[in-house]
Amino acid sequence: MGKIKIFAPNTVSNVGCGYDVLGFPLEGLGDEVLVSEREDSNLVIKDISGADLPINSEKNVATVAVQALLSASGVNRGFNISIQKGIPPGSGLGSSACSSVGAVFAVNELLDRPFTKKELVAFAMEGERSSSGQAHADNVAPSMLGGFTVIRSYDPLDVFNVPFPSELLAVVIYPQVEVTTKYAKKILPKEISLKDGVQQWGNMAGLISGLMSNDFDRIGRSLQDSVAEPVRKTLIPHYDEAKNTALEHGAIGFNISGSGPTSFALTSDAETAESIKKACSSIYEKNGIEVLSFISKINPEGAHII
């Protein structure tokens, strides 16, 4: 019986102006997903470590995503799935996406790769639908594919990567408070003004251009969000103070990762990154809030066998 272990990285999504259409994966932080074949056709979550999550196959994102793959392929096979979580849900770092991505990537390998990595994104999105109520791809696509990933369209699904500066670093600041994706989506405005839309579209174009041309000044000017940040920052303690502090310490830009409460800063210099990490972490520590902070390069590989 076949068995395989996959690493699926956590992600920063939205990246400021790219609400639901832009994301990148982190290095060294993610889920390890062990999948083995069964003699029957059942999908079974054997165990989950690092988070308290449902093991019911109809409710767990990993088995929901795998069932979508099996249904599309017409295969009636069973698998055991064990998940070691890198980050718990409610972080803003694509926790549910990691499990979905790791599981469908593993099963696809055990089935001798009937689908490409890009095709697997659609199945992993079904895990996101079961978790948040919406099949968004800004976490699963970068976790699966690696690199800066753009979702040009959802219907039909059209995903592609853009080049980015190899020296780019993300400083991740994760205060230990929970913000659920469902609630963070619920509070967003259903409509935006034309003025905000024009600003957002210009920033998205500027960010993509800056990434492709290694123009850090343009990246910084474009890392603005007129849609989600003004609302979601109210859910994150000391957000404005952390953002101002990061920019004062040389960050190219600063914004919310996904739904929050995690925020991130971008920089191209390791010394600057350490300074930002230390200064922003101290804000939470002095206010009695536990914080996880780390520095990561942009993961170019995405999901892979370990």
pLDDT tens per residue across span 5-64: 999 999 999 999 999 999 999 999 999 999 999 999 999 999 999 988 888 888 899 999
- pLDDT tens, position by position, 76-86: 999 999 999 99
Angstrom distance (rounded) from CA 20 to CA 10: 16
- Catalytic annotation, pick one of 128, 149, 262, 272: 128
What would the two tokens of residue 222 be?
């474009």
- pLDDT tens, position by position, 92-111: 999 999 999 999 999 999 99
pTM attached to this predicted model: 0.94
Same fold, 3-162+301-305 and 169-297: no
- Of the pLDDT bands very low, low, confident and very high (cuts 50, 70, 90), residue 1 is low
Average pLDDT of the segment spanning 66-73: 97
- Before 88, cis peptide (omega within 30)? no
Residue 128 among the catalytic residues:
yes
- Catalytic annotation, pick one of 181, 245, 262, 272: 181
- pLDDT tens, position by position, 229-286: 999 999 999 999 999 999 999 999 999 999 999 999 999 999 999 999 999 999 999 9
- Give which of 90, 142, 24 is closest to 260, Cα–Cα: 90
> What's the CATH architecture for 3-162+301-305?
2-Layer Sandwich (3.30)
- pLDDT tens, position by position, 188-233: 989 999 999 999 999 999 999 999 999 999 999 999 999 999 999 9
For residues 128 and 61, the answer to whether their CB atoms sit within 8 Å is yes
Angstrom distance (rounded) from CA 216 to CA 214: 6
- Ordered by start, the domain boundaries in the chain are 3-162+301-305, 169-297
Angstrom distance (rounded) from CA 249 to CA 279: 8
Buried-exposed string 43-69: b where 16+ CB fall within 10 A, e elsewhere? bbbeebeebebeeebeebbbbbbbbbb
Q: According to CATH, what is the number of the domain 169-297?
A: 3.30.70.890
Angstrom distance (rounded) from CA 151 to CA 136: 9
Residue 32 among the catalytic residues:
no
